[in-house]
Structure 1
Amino acid sequence: MEYKGSYFIYKGLKDSGITFISGVPCANLKHLIKYLEEDKEIKYIPATREEEAFGILTGAYLAGKKTAIIMQNSGLGNSINALASLYKTYQIPTLIIISHRGLLKEQIPAQIPMGLWTEKILDICGIPYFKPKNPEEAHKIIKYSADYMEKLSYPVALLFDALYWEYDK
């Protein structure tokens, strides 16, 4: 079965030349993770925390890989120090794919604060971000963002909210 939302994110990552991905699982990302794990050309390393994933990706970047991280937005809060002291200081580009929880249709109250703060945190960190509304737009924006992160030598984020994941149902 093809999960349209996840497939177009996967296809965008692949078409962008991203070959090394790490991240922390989220229910919304399960189909994307399955695509990544089945791809022989992309190395996917699961992590227990987002800071660990950023560390893994730093090593991959220094080894010449084009990287991305996948996480839910609560992980952004866990990652502030890695982004500020490592990625900002050493100008490390990576694509940040975020399952933007805590907004529409959220069933878990604990997700709501980070859902409301995610864009503000990205703004404070100076991380450009995009919010694709549908799979076709996601594919195009991922390709654009992957080029943009390399020009900036800094991360670029993509936020996928609850409405986006409806394409996987």
Structure 2
Amino acid sequence: MKNIILASTSPYRAALMERLGLPFKAIAPNTDETPIDGESFTALSLRLAEEKARSVSVNNALVIGSDQVAVLSDRQLHKPGTPEKAEAQLKQAQGQTITFYTSLALLNTVTDHCHLDYVVYRASLRPLSNDEITRYVEADTPLDCAGSFKWERLGISLMRELEGPDPTALEGLPLIKLCAMLRDEGVPVP
């Protein structure tokens, strides 16, 4: 079996990869994530996923790149970085739907063939009070999450509805599509 490389330093993506039980190595990609003028959110996430995979130079490997763009009212959300910014982001998003475009690239470095696909997932937040938002941010510290919540943890309490074909896409690595791509490359995934 070829080496499997995850082109990411995200602990969330690494934890998702561990669920598959396949040996892999995580390597930081070298990618400029600046959007191109006029680029759609889908095109941005697809381009960055492939660029991340191609930026990791390893022979005889399957390199996984993934990128996620979170959008609220046609505006891209970024990782808040501070509790104050996380609270502000949740105040803007409460009662609304955030759309996540999560793209996936699987590059075979031997053939140079790159599988590329994406998943759209929607997270609808219920109306939230300022106190609920403050308590949530203090409890879950979602400072490194676009959208300012961790749905797989306490963030689920903020939701009115989650909608999409693969909940792992919301965490940043769509495992259903990844498993299909790996099987296409001859990797046995149960």
TM normalised by structure 1 equals 0.31
Name the larger-Rg structure: 2
> Which has a greater percent of strand?
2
Task: Choose between structure 1 and 2 for higher RCO, CA contacts under 8 A separated by at least 6 residues.
Answer: 1
TM normalised by structure 2 equals 0.29
